[in-house]
Structure 1
Amino acid sequence: MFKQIITPGFYETDALGHINNTVIPMWFEKTREPLFKYFTPDLDPTKWRLILAGFDVQFLAEIKYGEPVEIHTGLQKVGNASFVVSQRAYQRQQRVAQGNTTLVQYDYQTKRSVPIDDNIRAQLMEHLLSDDE
């Protein structure tokens, strides 16, 4: 599992002074970068090998400006050509948001999914979450 700290910006707040709900999916994408690097080490978009198939986010508590947020990123499942990323956001040791994202290894020229190679699969499997995580 990857753990990364996000420092909420003032510009990410809404009229009520909380972090806007549109920000969490962006934080989750940013903290998926270590996984992206397994497929495209230099993150060069012209060599990109992933496509997002879907995501969901649940908001569990208010997220406040001025206090760090820790994002935990792991894998729920690794399939033939796809994998499901499970992410949790914590502020003050409380889970404040969670979500899952399905990513597919994709060939943009042929417009088809392609199987994840064994080397990348082994790296992904290191981040497979247990049932209690």
Structure 2
Amino acid sequence: MSEKKQVHVMRQAIRWGDMDAFGHVNNTVYFRYMESGRIAFLEQAAGDLDIQGQGPVIVTAHCSFIKQLKYPGEIEIRTFAGPAGRSSFDVTHEIRMVNADGRADVVAAEGGGKVVWIDFAAEKSVPLPARLREILPPG
């Protein structure tokens, strides 16, 4: 089994608008939370993303919902990356509830996907940037 490495951690508030009619965070919003963690990691690792040149796309996405999240609250998004392929790598996330003590011990959801680096104009995969490859765990 491939080694995964924690590459980024961030916190954000649960917004009122994240909730649905049932009074909990809507399932689609969890994918936005994971996207926020993934993009923050990629910008930190590879620099500003330029949609006119090369950059990341997600080709698969999944999420397991473990506990409900509700407003008001805060979450911590932990991002993990797998080894680099030529143009892709797997990314996973843990969305954790932050308690009153500021600890994020309870996992509310786990998910992830596959990131592929592409040339946007050519619509073809290209090798991962060296700067990003250096951060990913060895294969």
TM range (shorter): 0.7 to 0.9
Distance 1:112 1:48 in 2: 10
The two structures, once aligned, show a CA RMSD in angstroms of: 2.0
Conservation of the 8 A alpha-carbon contact between 1:84 and 1:103: yes
Identify which range, 5-14 or 72-81, moves more after superposition: 72-81
| Structure 1: gaps of 5 or more residues | 129-133
1:110 aligns with 2:122: yes
> CA deviation digits over 1:79-129, x for unaligned, max 9?
121011110011142111010111111112322211224332112339x9x
1:13 aligns with 2:19: yes
Distance 2:131 2:25 in 1: 38
**Which 4+ runs in 1 deviate beyond 3 A?**
none
Check 1:80–1:44 CA distance in 2 against 1; reply closer, same or farther (3 A cut).
Answer: closer
The secondary structure found in structure 2 opposite 1:43 is coil
Aligned residue for 1:56?
Answer: 62
Check 1:57–1:76 CA distance in 2 against 1; reply closer, same or farther (3 A cut).
Answer: same
Identity of aligned residues (%): 25
Check 1:26–1:6 CA distance in 2 against 1; reply closer, same or farther (3 A cut).
Answer: same
> CA deviation digits over 1:47-78, x for unaligned, max 9?
34122111101101111111111110011332
What is the TM-score of this pair, normalised by structure 1? 0.83
Aligned residues: 126
Conservation of the 8 A alpha-carbon contact between 2:83 and 2:136: no
